[in-house]
């Protein structure tokens, strides 16, 4: 049973071994044409399943959660990118010759990208969090990221920083990035999600099938392919208080980073130098793998945290029923 419960990590290990033994199978232009079958097909399946299982009214309701959107996107773009830039700057001024300077550029690029497209939605749902909110954050983050991420990278690589050596030009044209991101999101996110939502009304049996046989777990398989106390009466702090399900969605979305936008960004600026491009891509690829591992480890903890409210509600209901029975018994004895 323990081995079965750890199937996700075993599957990742098998995927890594398989990729090592057969590198041409899923590489770009390889046997299965991963630039289409995985980047579009696998992600499309994840969001098709999300569309089949999510309530349409709840999905539209989540669009109005402006407080969650502001906090999550500020955390994703400003907080994480500035923290990572700070660490990169500390490493740079240490003058450690063993660390390639373009690896640090990779850190900065990674910190500047928006939340990942698929794994955080799958993990949020697995932890019983608000997966509808998570999906909306993915959409908002990646649309904003197509415009904000290039600007952040130019800011961190400007002449006033110690990383201006890696800025190939200040006049990079990002129109190709915008086109690729919108095309990717349209084919792999918006399209499948819309089809899933429509299918709920015309084929309601599909929704029951997905929930009954836990088809949502299939999403994990496709994720593998992407390889001090503060007083509550403080008005500012109270704005940052979310319920448990929303907190899980924000946490998993806020810190996650996407390779779907990161690679086009790297290609747009350093695509003419394949060696530098490969070095800069390393932190992004490693971060992508690490965030899936960490999120999967956190899922049972977060799920237990959310479910603790349900158990407390059950205890409260039982106590209230006991009190009512006791009151009825007391009234009966008094009447007699």
Is 333 a domain residue? no
Distance CA(137)–CA(143), nearest Å, equals: 10
pLDDT of residue 38 exceeding 60, the answer is yes
- 159-209: pLDDT as tens digits: 888 898 888 755 455 566 666 666 666 766 677 767 777 777 777 776 666
Q: What is the pLDDT of residue 37?
A: 74
Asked if 149 contacts 97 with a C-beta cutoff of 8 angstroms, the reply is no
Is 208 a domain residue? yes
Residue 20, domain extent: 12-226+237-307
* CATH number of the structural domain spanning residue 267: 1.20.1530.20
Q: What is the pLDDT of residue 288?
A: 84
Is 20 a domain residue? yes
Neighbours of 237 (CB within 10 A): 11
Is 231 a domain residue? no
Q: Which residue has the higher pLDDT, 65 or 203?
A: 65
- 204-253: pLDDT as tens digits: 776 666 555 554 455 545 555 554 434 444 454 555 678 899 999 998 89
Distance CA(306)–CA(158), nearest Å, equals: 44
Distance CA(127)–CA(300), nearest Å, equals: 7
Neighbours of 69 (CB within 10 A): 19
Tokens, residue 331: 């009234």
Q: What is the number of structural domains in the chain? A: 1
39 contacts: CB under 8 Å, gap ≥ 6 = 184, 188, 260
Q: Which residue has the higher pLDDT, 101 or 171?
A: 101
Is 296 a domain residue? yes
Tokens, residue 2: 């323990």
Is 277 a domain residue? yes
Distance CA(143)–CA(329), nearest Å, equals: 62
pTM: 0.70
Is 330 a domain residue? no
Three-state SS for 159?
Answer: coil
Distance CA(186)–CA(119), nearest Å, equals: 18
Tokens, residue 61: 């309701």
Is 66 a domain residue? yes
Distance CA(192)–CA(47), nearest Å, equals: 6
Instruction: Kindly write down the DSSP assignment for every residue of 100-137, as one continuous string.
Output: -HHHHHHHHHHHHS---SSHHHHHHHHTT--HHHHHHH
What Cα–Cα distance (Å) separates residue 333 from each residue in 53, 82, 244, 327, 328?
52, 70, 44, 10, 9
- Output helix, strand, coil percentages for the chain, rounded to the nearest 5: 80, 0, 20
Distance CA(181)–CA(96), nearest Å, equals: 36
Three-state SS for 273?
Answer: coil
């Amino acid at each position: 049973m323990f081995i079965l419960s750890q199937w996700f990590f075993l599957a990742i290990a098998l995927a890594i071994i398989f990729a090592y033994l057969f590198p041409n199978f899923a590489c770009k232009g390889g046997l299965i044409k991963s630039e289409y079958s995985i980047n579009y097909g696998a992600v499309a399946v994840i969001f098709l399943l999300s569309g089949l299982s999510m309530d349409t009214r709840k999905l539209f309701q989540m669009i109005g959660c402006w407080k969650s959107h502001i906090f999550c996107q500020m955390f994703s773009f400003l907080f994480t990118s500035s923290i990572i830039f700070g660490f990169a700057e500390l490493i740079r001024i240490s003058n450690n010759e063993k660390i390639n300077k373009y690896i640090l550029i990779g850190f900065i690029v990674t910190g500047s990208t928006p939340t990942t497209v698929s794994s955080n939605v799958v993990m949020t749902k697995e932890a019983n969090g608000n997966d509808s909110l998570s999906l909306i954050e993915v959409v908002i983050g990646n649309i904003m990221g197509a415009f904000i991420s290039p600007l952040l990278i130019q800011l961190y690589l400007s002449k006033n920083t110690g990383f201006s050596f890696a800025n190939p030009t200040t006049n990079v044209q990002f129109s190709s990035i915008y086109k690729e991101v919108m095309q990717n999101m349209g084919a792999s996110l918006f399209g499948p999600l819309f089809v899933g939502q429509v299918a709920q009304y015309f084929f309601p049996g599909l929704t029951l099938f997905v929930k009954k046989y836990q088809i949502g777990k299939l999403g994990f398989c496709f994720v593998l392919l992407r390889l001090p106390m503060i007083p509550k009466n403080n008005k500012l702090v109270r704005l940052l208080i979310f319920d448990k399900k929303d907190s899980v969605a924000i946490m998993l979305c806020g810190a996650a980073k996407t390779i779907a936008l990161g690679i086009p960004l790297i290609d747009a600026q350093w695509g003419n130098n394949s060696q530098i491009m490969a070095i800069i891509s390393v932190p992004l690829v490693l971060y992508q793998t690490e965030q899936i591992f960490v999120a999967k480890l956190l899922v049972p903890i977060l799920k237990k945290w959310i479910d603790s409210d349900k158990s407390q509600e059950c205890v409260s209901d039982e106590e209230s029923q006991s009190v009512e029975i006791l009151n009825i018994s007391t009234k009966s004895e008094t009447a007699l």
